[in-house]
Chains A and B, each alone.
Chain A
Amino acid sequence: NAGVTQTPKFQVLKTGQSMTLQCAQDMNHNSMYWYRQDPGMGLRLIYYSASEGTTDKGEVPNGYNVSRLNKREFSLRLESAAPSQTSVYFCAGTRGDEQFFGPGTRLTVL
């Protein structure tokens, strides 16, 4: 039982490059989330998926897209990375009301 897993752990991109952050969970969560964490800003919701087949915007969705591929997987895509997207990205799933976070992806955009 791995919980919530994320790949990659670290990534460096150049401005304008694209990439997809992967998230998978084996805890049978219905809801899944993508957050970004910046110093002094807490955890800000980018997108979430309340159930398989649905996705909705969170607080800071601009520059991102998501795909809920199936119940287990929820990916986050940056189509054209910008330095402002340098951050730590956390995926999470919910069981009951508790959110379980993945280990995070540290992304740097040069």
Chain B
Amino acid sequence: GENVEQHPSTLSVQEGDSAVIKCTYSDSASNYFPWYKQELGKRPQLIIDIRSNVGEKKDQRIAVTLNKTAKHFSLHITETQPEDSAVYFCAAPSGGSNYKLTFGKGTLLTVNP
């Protein structure tokens, strides 16, 4: 099955700085890579995803990059704000189907005012 490694496990930045979270995956057939954000005590919610036919996708202050050759993808948050503080999870499909995901262990991002 798919193996997803996520780093770092915790990340602390100053407001306005950038944050980068990286994930690697093992199944070269994987073609869909979502990122979920989970605020304290809340449910995970999709914030951005990327498919294997593109190398980068942006949505305002967040972006995701994908390197299929190296089998890694990254989440980039620019101009961080305190409301970006949360746990972020990457995921990749397992078993050859996009509807079954393997999640990374998560990154706790803290943005200090």
Contact = CB atoms under 8 A, between A and B. Distances in A.
Nearest to A103: B43
A31 B97 CA distance: 12
Interface residues of B, number: 23
A97 B104 contact: no
A42 B99 contact: no
Most buried by A among B9, B44, B105: B44
Contacts of A98: 34, 46, 49
A104 B103 CA distance: 17
Given A40-B9, A42-B89, A90 B101 contact: no
Contact of A99 (B6, B9, B101): B101
Interface of B: 1, 6, 9, 32, 34, 36, 42-46, 49, 89, 97-106
